[in-house]
């Protein structure tokens, strides 16, 4: 889809963003037409973002077990729709909606209709995720998205990151599950006033986000070309995960900054923290967007 000098490509497998650029400058790090997506590159994360310990959770008094999609850490990760075929609907020159139906499966006996609407506008790319419970029982729900902000040419090490978040959710090194929270003040993870990423390894959720007059929280990444990628999230996203890509393949490491809006923290299906309860017929929606400044 296009608008002026903006171009975005949305894929059917996983329903995510393959590329978004303004002119010749990437805004979101792309991946090639001939490449299989890795690292959840550009994809929606539904019906939960991040990790679920042991793939096990309880909802309304019933225990459930889902497949372990991160077996080395004994976790399930990023929900069920990463590799599903999504259907394009409502196609326009400057926008498209991707639709997927999540029918009951082992460990998730619930039914959801999910739509992700991508729209190019004068203020960049906006993304609206809507989920409807089409089943006859309440369902647990959380969502996220996994874009990688582009540094332009080079690595994110040479970029300045600005993230007005007061708190880092601390995770253990072995399974990357939450073990506590700490203020960013006085730590290497304080990006509230903006500073170089350098060689810092980051793969943490951040919360207690500062919000502007529009109730939007923002993340900004400024490349060596002086141009800044702005990502914003609405109030449905209280958490943003930042990931420097150090566990990706050598050609991908630190060439894009994973910046993931999340409606709930990691392991939310297990802890219940910020988990959305969708009653039959209920609808939930969340919105984020990204743009490039001169």
CATH of the domain at 278: 2.70.98.10
- Among the listed residues 143, 142, 131, the one whose alpha carbon sits nearest the alpha carbon of residue 280: 131
Query: What is residue 222's DSSP assignment?
Result: E
Which string of DSSP letters, residue by residue, matches 135-185?
A: SSS-EEE--EE--EE--SSS-GGGSEEEE-EEEEEEE-TTT--EEEEEE-T
Residue (of 193, 202, 207) closest to 245 by Cα position? 202
Count of structural domains within the chain: 1
The dihedral built from the CA positions of residue 266, 270, 276 and 282, taken in this order, carries a sign that is positive
181 CB neighbour count, 10 Å cutoff: 14
Instruction: Output the six-digit token pair for 7.
Output: 């171009």
* In contact, 28 and 150? CB cutoff 8 Å: yes
Residue with tokens 């993304």: 127
For residues 212-228, give the mean pLDDT. Answer: 97
pTM of the model: 0.96
Mean pLDDT in the chain?
A: 97
Contact 217, 164 (CB under 8 A): yes
Nearest-CA neighbor of 126 among 278, 256, 265, 6? 6
4: tokens are 């002026």
Give me the mean pLDDT over the 53-76 stretch: 98
HSE-CB for 286 with a 13 A CA cutoff = 24
Pairing outcome for strands 203-209 and 257-262? unpaired
Question: Sorting pLDDT into bands at 50, 70 and 90, what band is 33?
Answer: confident
Does the pLDDT of residue 235 top 90, yes or no? yes
What is the pLDDT averaged over residues 247-251?
A: 90
> Considering Cα of 106, then 107, then 110, then 112, what sign does the dihedral take?
negative
pLDDT digits (tens, 9 = 90+) for 168-201: 999 999 999 999 999 999 999 999 999 999 999 9
Residue 173 CA: distances (Å) to CA of 143, 186, 204: 24, 21, 11
Task: Confirm if 98 and 15 have CB atoms less than 8 A apart.
Answer: yes
- Name the residue among 170, 175, 224 with its Cα closest to residue 197: 224
Q: Please, which residues bridge with residue 196 across strands?
A: 160
Q: What is the distance, to the nearest Å, from the Cα of residue 114 to the centroid of all Cα atoms in its chain?
A: 15
Rounded CA-CA distance 263/98 in Å is 20
| Residue 20 pLDDT level (bands cut at 50, 70, 90) | very high
pLDDT at res. 76: 98
Q: Which domain holds residue 65?
A: 2-293
**Cβ of 232: how many Cβ atoms within 10 Å?**
23
**Quick one: which H or E segment has residue 219?**
strand 217-222
């Amino acid at each position: 889809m296009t608008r002026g000098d903006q171009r975005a490509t949305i894929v059917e497998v996983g329903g995510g963003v393959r590329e978004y650029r303004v002119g010749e400058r990437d805004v979101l790090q792309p991946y090639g037409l001939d490449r299989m997506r890795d690292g959840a590159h550009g994809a929606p994360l539904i019906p939960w973002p991040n990790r679920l310990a042991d793939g096990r959770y309880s909802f309304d008094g019933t225990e459930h077990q889902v497949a372990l999609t991160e077996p080395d850490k004994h976790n399930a990760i990023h929900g069920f729709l990463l590799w599903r075929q999504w259907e394009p609907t409502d196609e326009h020159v400057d926008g498209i909606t991707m639709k997927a139906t999540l029918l009951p499966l082992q460990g998730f006996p619930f039914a959801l209709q999910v739509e992700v609407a991508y729209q190019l506008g004068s203020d960049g790319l906006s993304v609206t995720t809507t989920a409807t419970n089409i089943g006859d029982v309440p369902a647990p729900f959380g969502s996220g998205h996994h874009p990688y902000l582009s540094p332009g040419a080079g690595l994110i090490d040479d970029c300045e990151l600005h993230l007005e978040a007061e708190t880092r959710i601390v995770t253990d090194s072995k399974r990357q599950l939450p073990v506590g929270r700490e203020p960013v003040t006085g730590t290497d993870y304080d990006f509230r006033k903006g500073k170089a990423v350098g060689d810092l390894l980051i793969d943490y959720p951040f919360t207690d986000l500062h919000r502007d007059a529009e109730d939007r929280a923002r993340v900004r990444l400024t490349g060596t070309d002086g141009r800044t990628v702005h990502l914003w999230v609405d109030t449905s996203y209280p958490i943003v995960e930042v990931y420097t890509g150090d566990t990706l393949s050598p050609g991908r490491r630190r060439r894009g900054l994973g910046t993931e809006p999340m409606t709930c923290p990691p392991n939310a299906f297990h802890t219940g923290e910020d988990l959305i309860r969708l009653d039959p017929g209920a609808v939930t929606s969340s919105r984020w967007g990204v743009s490039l400044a001169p």
